[in-house]
Chains A and B, each alone.
Chain A
Amino acid sequence: MTTLSVASKILRALITVFLLVSFVFVVLRLSGDPAIQMLGVDADPRALDAFRERWGLDRPIWDQYVSYLWNIFQGDFGHSFIGNRPATEVVAERLPKTLWLMGLTTIFTFGIGIPAGVYAALHRNTAVDRLTMGLTVASFSLPNFVVGIVLIMLFGVVLRVLPTAGSETWLHYILPVATMATADAAIFARFSRSAMLEVLSAPFMRTARAKGLLWTEAVRRHALPNASIPIVTVGGIYVGRQIAAATITENVFAWPGIGKLLVASVQNRDLAVVQCIVILVGVTMVVTNLLVDLAYGWLDPRTRSGESK
Chain B
Amino acid sequence: MSIDKDTVKHISKLARISLDEKKINNLSKDLSSIMKFIEKLNKLNTDKVTPLTSIINASLKSRPDEIKDEKIRDQILKNSPEKNEEFFVVPKVIE
Q: A and B: real partners?
A: no
Residues of A within 8 A of B (CB): none
